[in-house]
Structure 1
């Protein structure tokens, strides 16, 4: 059977037509080979008539056929079980590699996005106040070090990400002052994880798409419970450019790949809210 499987089988997985062909041919060859050997031995000892009369031959054929049917069935079942298990392992390994590659692609899209947006802020500050621009640049260098550190990580602890979000928001205050306000209501521990730069991206999104003032600020609230809820009131900019929403779509894809859960985006007239699932455990590679 193993010889015929290697010779005839073309399908990667179980194929009924190929299996029946292999099984029936194996049964036939098994019976023919055993009877041929029996005939040779009978000729050798000169007892052909005794061993190959109708009654003995019928009994021998039935016995050989039943043995081949039973043990051959067990062998094929075991062979295809092992083959299927190996195939499933290969698929699993391939899917993991595919997901890993996709996540890396998504992360490489985010880092230039982060750098480009903040260099734009720096460029504006240089024109407005060179001393603020200098402070901004120094703090930005420290913050970008974190971005580089987490660039090869799938997830980070929520505590780390909250600390980074606070540092990033402090950086933005160089330009916007109290026009944007941040409130964090954390109930967190180091056993919960989050996609790196998630909170920073949502803070950036709120700042980019809204026009806050000191008298009428944009209030960004981060609430942490079973999920993370990031919300802000909306004061739309006039003549705002249309955006592709690629960053949020990027984030949705990362969460789906890493946790098999989707983020929820709720865009109303008065408020914009994003709900993020917390990931309870992860071992970084």
Structure 2
């Protein structure tokens, strides 16, 4: 039988409860061997034996549901805690719950045996905490703890599989989006247009322009499958990109960098993150030689802060947010820290975390 093809059957509530009843009934038969009255009378499956199994299964289902509910409640309360600590808390709570449930069963079993069949052996064993009854109680406790642990870890495993598959798809999509947005055909054709004009005006500058353009695209192609690069590597790439922007826009764009040397060499960020932010700033703001757009990059509190004044272009379309979403997705794949966006009528600021790899 193929498990994946029949997974809806195995995941259904009917199958779940039937399997629980079967397991509990099997354990009820085993548990009877610890009550010598069943063995001595050789009546394991008489009316008293059937009533015992029925009581065992009913009580077990209630305790089982209680353990599931308790697990979910703990997960909801401490879901943000580290996995190891969450597991330790869950195990401790289930141990206590299992002990209470086991002794509760021993007490109810003894009382019901007196009321229904006028048998006092179970009560005497329960009061004396005999070895036989304690071992039987331990079996019941082990049943609850083990099976709830299996269910919990199976659910966690399935959730992990789904999450891993989702992240893998998002990783591929993010890389595709990054490549699509970074190698912008309009930017490429504009660069060729600028180069056409430069060829006639300044052959030397044209050669420099071609060199920097080649560096820009070589970086994009070389780093497209890497999750992280050093800040210095990104700034070196940005230098080539800004050279192209300065040739095209002259002194209309000014770029300020204040990043400490230690951050440059040790800090890591996703490749082309800064270029996407600067490209957005150039795309959505007005600038001129008399009123240049000043884009600033500095490090602050473990982040690279990219800021620019807001000068919305008249009649320009609203930003689709693809560039920012792209960066956010890539950070979600490699870190638990996300980017922070601060926007006002005067300034647009994006903070991207600096990742330190030990």
TM-score, normalised by the number of residues in structure 1: 0.73
1:79 and 1:178 map into 2 onto residues whose CA distance is 70
Any stretches of 5+ residues in structure 2 without a counterpart? 1-8, 44-118, 126-130
Tell me if 1:21 matches 2:21.
yes
1:93 and 1:30 map into 2 onto residues whose CA distance is 36
- Map of 1:173 onto structure 2: 246
- Map of 2:272 onto structure 1: 197
Range with bigger deviation, 156-165 or 263-272: 263-272
Tell me if 1:219 matches 2:294.
yes
C-alpha change, 1:239 and 1:23, in structure 2 (3 Å) is: closer
Range with bigger deviation, 104-113 or 23-32: 23-32
Query: How many residues of Structure 1 are paired with residues of Structure 2 in the alignment?
Result: 259
Correspondence list, 1:133-282, <5 A: 135-187=208-260, 188-226=263-301, 227-281=303-357
- Over the aligned positions, Cα root-mean-square deviation in angstroms equals 3.8
Any stretches of 5+ residues in structure 1 without a counterpart? 1-8, 41-55
1:204 and 1:97 map into 2 onto residues whose CA distance is 31
The one of 154, 163, 171 aligned to 1:103: 171
TM-score, normalised by the number of residues in structure 2: 0.60
Preserved contact between residue 296 and residue 306 of structure 2 (Cα < 8 Å): yes
C-alpha change, 1:25 and 1:274, in structure 2 (3 Å) is: same
2:330 and 2:189 map into 1 onto residues whose CA distance is 26
More helix by share: 2
- Map of 2:182 onto structure 1: 114
Q: Which has the higher contact order (CA 8 A, sep 6+)?
A: 1
2:314 and 2:189 map into 1 onto residues whose CA distance is 19
Range with bigger deviation, 254-263 or 204-213: 254-263
2:240 and 2:179 map into 1 onto residues whose CA distance is 17
C-alpha change, 1:24 and 1:75, in structure 2 (3 Å) is: closer
Secondary structure of 1:163's aligned partner: helix
The one of 140, 148, 151 aligned to 1:80: 148
The runs of at least 4 consecutive aligned structure 1 residues that moved more than 3 Å come to: 9-13, 15-20, 31-40, 62-69, 126-138, 234-239
